[in-house]
Amino acid sequence: LLQIMGGNQMATFFPNVLDKFLSSAFLEGVRKKYHYEETQASEFQVVAEEMLPLMREEAFWERRVSLGKNKHQSEECNMIHEQVVMSLGNGVDRLQEKYSERGLLSQSYMIEVMASELLLQGYVAYNYYIKENTDWHVARYHFLGSEENYPLEMMPDLLRELTPLITCNSAFCMLPKKSVAFIAELTQDDKVQCRGICVGCNNLNCSNRMEDGGLIQKRLSVMTDLPLTYGYRRIFGLI
């Protein structure tokens, strides 16, 4: 337990993930997943090149063992819980706002989808970090608001305990917007392995859900007050 606690573990966002952000594999994968036209590939490249230096400067993650959860567990359970946050920083939010203010909705949505896919890769990188740097590995993720034992009301305390760099409002929306918070269930049982961040979650509206474009569709309504044209609605599966 002492090994994994090690105090608060604030670090820059996973360099191996950011290093691949401008790769054709990542950009093309995102473009095709969200049904952008091939002719828009150069726009993706331009937007990504604006995002990357901002994220290299501000993106981070932090973790700490959740003592409140673990104190109810016996040593025989061979299980602990860890609170984790990841954020791409305020710079990406400001860049997205600039695009929206100029009416560049396509570029604004490109930021949304690329940021979302980058955070999804952050979960994989976190799994790898825990496995390589501790005697534990991830068994399961728990997201606030998706289970009875993890209500959204836990969010303010979780953020206060972890970092002053992420806050949330009365509706539990985090700032910076491109941020995630979760509880990771860690184990030393080799028979128990994480099968994905959405396994066991019945909340189809979860902002972190990997299926059905849930992350994007939930955020569309708060990104801009401008009406969406037929083309943009089709891009994001709204029609």
Q: Is 30:117 a contact under the CB 8 Å cutoff?
A: yes
**Residue-averaged pLDDT of the chain:** 81
Quickly tell me which residue has 């726009």 as its tokens: 43
pLDDT exceeds cutoff 80 at 238:
no
Q: What is the pLDDT of residue 14?
A: 96
Task: Name which of 94, 105, 98 is nearest 226 in CA terms.
Answer: 105
Span of 40-49, 83-92, 141-150 with lowest mean pLDDT: 141-150
Averaged pLDDT, 118-136: 94
Q: What is the pLDDT of residue 41?
A: 96
- Check: pTM over 0.85? Answer yes or no: no
Confidence of residue 186 (pLDDT cuts 50, 70, 90): very high
pLDDT exceeds cutoff 80 at 117:
yes
Residue 131 — left, alpha, or beta (φ > 0 → left; ψ -120 to 50 → alpha)? alpha
pLDDT exceeds cutoff 90 at 119:
yes
